[in-house]
């Protein structure tokens, strides 16, 4: 393995976040996919834990990571693109973790800037909604790079993001 592999992997993730590249630039690595999934689960749990209990946050993080892995495997298998599973899973989990960390940081910034007499929780959720939309576009972008057509990729991304943010988010307190 070359010495610039972490640098090229980081560059590939930055290109994915900017919607300039796809997961094809990432290495095919089970370890990278595992690290990305763990980061996705932990960051999702931290984000969910800002407003819910520890048990709810942990169950949210773990279940969303499992759902991401299972749905990615199933969809790519049905499209006969199983060879892209590790790269796609790495990209989806890493970008999802990036979005969760960004949301947590912005949540703290907005919570400090907007003291408690204001309806901080509702206002923060409203102001952070563009991150949810960006997550949909990133996931659709990545699914599109697997060979899916635009509408099914976008529908799958919307379904996943709605499921984890509103259905899982409301069920796991």
Greatest C-alpha distance within the chain = 55
Q: Terminus-to-terminus CA distance in the chain, angstroms?
A: 44
In this structure, is residue 112 part of a structural domain?
Answer: yes
Measured at the CA of 76, the angle between CA 33 and CA 133, to 5 degrees, comes to: 75
Model pLDDT, residue 62: 94
- The whole-angstrom separation of Cα 18 and Cα 28 is 21
Inter-residue contact 89 to 35 (CB < 8 Å): no
pLDDT in tens, 29-86: 999 999 999 999 999 999 989 888 899 899 999 999 999 999 999 999 999 999 999 9
| 51: its two tokens | 């407003």
120 Cβ contact partners less than 8 Å away, ≥ 6 residues apart: 110, 111, 114
Burial of 137 (C-beta count, 10 Å sphere; 0-12/13-18/19+): middle
Name the percent of the chain lying above pLDDT 90: 54
In this structure, is residue 19 part of a structural domain?
Answer: no
Residue burial 22-41, b: 16+ Cβ < 10 Å; e: rest: bbeebbebeebbeebbebbb
In this structure, is residue 133 part of a structural domain?
Answer: yes
Total tally of structural domains belonging to the chain:
1
Model pLDDT, residue 5: 66
- The whole-angstrom separation of Cα 145 and Cα 74 is 16
- The whole-angstrom separation of Cα 166 and Cα 157 is 14
Inter-residue contact 15 to 145 (CB < 8 Å): no
pLDDT in tens, 86-98: 999 999 999 999 9
In this structure, is residue 87 part of a structural domain?
Answer: yes
Domain enclosing residue 59, as ranges: 32-171
| pLDDT higher than 50, residue 162 | yes
In this structure, is residue 20 part of a structural domain?
Answer: no
In this structure, is residue 121 part of a structural domain?
Answer: yes
In this structure, is residue 60 part of a structural domain?
Answer: yes
In this structure, is residue 2 part of a structural domain?
Answer: no
């Amino acid at each position: 393995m070359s010495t610039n592999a972490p640098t090229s992997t980081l560059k590939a993730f930055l290109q994915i976040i900017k919607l300039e590249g796809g997961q094809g630039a990432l290495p095919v690595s089970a370890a990278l996919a595992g690290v990305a999934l763990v980061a996705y689960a932990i960051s999702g749990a931290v984000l969910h834990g800002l407003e819910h209990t520890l048990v709810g946050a942990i169950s949210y993080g773990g279940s969303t990571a499992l759902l991401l892995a299972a749905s990615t495997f199933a969809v790519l298998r049905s499209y006969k693109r199983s060879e892209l599973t590790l790269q796609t899973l790495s990209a989806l989990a890493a970008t999802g973790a990036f979005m969760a960390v960004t949301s947590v940081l912005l949540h703290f910034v907005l919570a400090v800037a907007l003291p408690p007499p204001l309806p901080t929780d509702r206002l923060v959720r409203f102001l952070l909604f563009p991150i949810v939309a960006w997550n949909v576009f990133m996931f659709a972008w990545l699914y599109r790079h697997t060979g899916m057509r635009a509408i099914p990729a976008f529908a799958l991304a919307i379904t996943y993001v709605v499921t984890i943010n509103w259905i899982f988010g409301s069920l796991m307190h």
